Copies of this chain bind each other. A is one copy, B any other.
């Protein structure tokens, strides 16, 4: 604590990201990275862009990237915002749309950064409890609010809200912005982007960190009505004019272009997920049905915290949240088939089912 800190900074509880160990000795299933590398075409495109033009600022508007994302989703460039990872986009969204007199709503079990943004931007919020089965119950969101945000599929549960349900939510909540955080949508969900035309208050956030294998490059996008995108641009241009560097723009553009690679790696992850779920079910794990690149599982006959520690000792890193309601679960990122086989074998030994 320092006399020079503002009150906000003193009171803040910063977000704690998953461990990023510097050594390579772990099978790393803790931060939902893609087990497959970026498309070879992405690698080639970036390598070609590493040249003397790095002395020049990037395009502050990222027009090339916005344009290709717009075409991909059948939207206009004015419906597309891009940022330094979806975290930056969410932060700017909180300032742009959620700083209102009424509290915003989000699930009690959800991406824990939402609460942190509320702290730094002084936004009141109500954490709406999920049902016993970790479902979002729409009636609970029928209350005056300054905005609504939730991940779809939800994290860390992996559970999906259907497009029908999102539509219903948008119909019952037309006065404030609804942000659907689709970080994991490409692993089996239907994007809400198709609802943008009818709902000017819908913002859909996505990231290149998961399904596009580019966590190391820091690119996210948000899609919505032109008025929402313009609001985000205003916030961005009051914060940092050039958040995406030249190489990130280049890599992201090529990642969208290589649709076949994207489809193939997403399918591999989904197939591995189903095999992993089958194996863990046999072992007696309770498993929340996931359409993400991770699974949320409750081990049989051992505390989740202990399984986390014993797996870590055995060089497998998963994510454990020591929080009410979810402290008997582990979140496990889907790796390659080989990685998951090792995870399953080591887990079987620990839980005593060999």
Residues of A that sit less than 8 Å from B by CB: 2-9, 12, 14-17, 20, 22, 28, 31, 33-38, 42-43, 46-47, 50-60, 63, 84-85, 87-88, 91, 95-100, 116-117, 119-120, 175-177, 200-201, 209, 213-218, 227-228, 230-231, 233-235, 237-248, 251
User: Which of A50, A88, A227, A237 has the most B CB atoms < 10 Å from its CB?
Assistant: A50
Residue of B nearest to A244 (CB): B218
Q: List chain B residues, Cβ under 8 A from A235.
A: 9, 12, 120
A37 touches B60 (CB 8 A): no
Select A54's contact among B7, B38, B200, beta carbons within 8 Å: B38
Q: List chain B residues, Cβ under 8 A from A251.
A: 54
Q: Given the complex of chains A and B, what is the CA–CA distance between A176 and B3 in angstroms?
A: 8
Select A57's contact among B8, B31, B50, beta carbons within 8 Å: B31
B52 touches A37 (CB 8 A): yes
A88 touches B243 (CB 8 A): yes
Residue of B nearest to A18 (CB): B57
Q: List chain B residues, Cβ under 8 A from A245.
A: 216-218, 245, 247-248
Q: Given the complex of chains A and B, what is the CA–CA distance between A156 and B258 in angstroms?
A: 44
Q: List chain B residues, Cβ under 8 A from A120.
A: 95, 235, 238-239
Q: List chain B residues, Cβ under 8 A from A12.
A: 234-235, 238
B217 touches A246 (CB 8 A): yes
**Contact (A96, B6) CB under 8 Å given A14-B234, A15-B237, A246-B217:** yes
Q: List chain B residues, Cβ under 8 A from A28.
A: 56
Q: List chain B residues, Cβ under 8 A from A34.
A: 55
Copies of the protein in its oligomer: 2
Q: Given the complex of chains A and B, what is the CA–CA distance between A214 and B247 in angstroms?
A: 12
Select A238's contact among B15, B218, B242, beta carbons within 8 Å: B15
**Contact (A214, B55) CB under 8 Å given A99-B7, A245-B245:** yes
B239 touches A88 (CB 8 A): yes
**Contact (A242, B17) CB under 8 Å given A52-B38, A55-B33, A213-B54:** yes
Q: Given the complex of chains A and B, what is the CA–CA distance between A4 and B200 in angstroms?
A: 9
B56 touches A33 (CB 8 A): yes
Can you list 30 A-B pairs, Cβ within 8 angstroms, ordered by A?
A: A2-B228, A2-B230, A4-B176, A4-B231, A5-B96, A5-B97, A5-B231, A8-B95, A8-B99, A9-B97, A14-B238, A20-B56, A22-B63, A35-B55, A37-B52, A37-B54, A42-B54, A43-B52, A43-B54, A50-B50, A55-B214, A55-B216, A56-B215, A57-B209, A84-B240, A85-B243, A88-B240, A91-B240, A218-B242, A245-B248
B84 touches A55 (CB 8 A): no
**Contact (A247, B176) CB under 8 Å given A33-B57, A235-B9:** no
B95 touches A9 (CB 8 A): yes
Q: Given the complex of chains A and B, what is the CA–CA distance between A57 and B100 in angstroms?
A: 33
B100 touches A6 (CB 8 A): yes
Minimum CB–CB distance for A191 against chain B, Å = 21
User: Which of A43, A57, A85, A120 has the most B CB atoms < 10 Å from its CB?
Assistant: A57
Q: List chain B residues, Cβ under 8 A from A244.
A: 218
Q: List chain B residues, Cβ under 8 A from A35.
A: 55
Minimum CB–CB distance for A19 against chain B, Å = 10
B87 touches A240 (CB 8 A): yes
Select A216's contact among B17, B57, B227, B237, beta carbons within 8 Å: B57
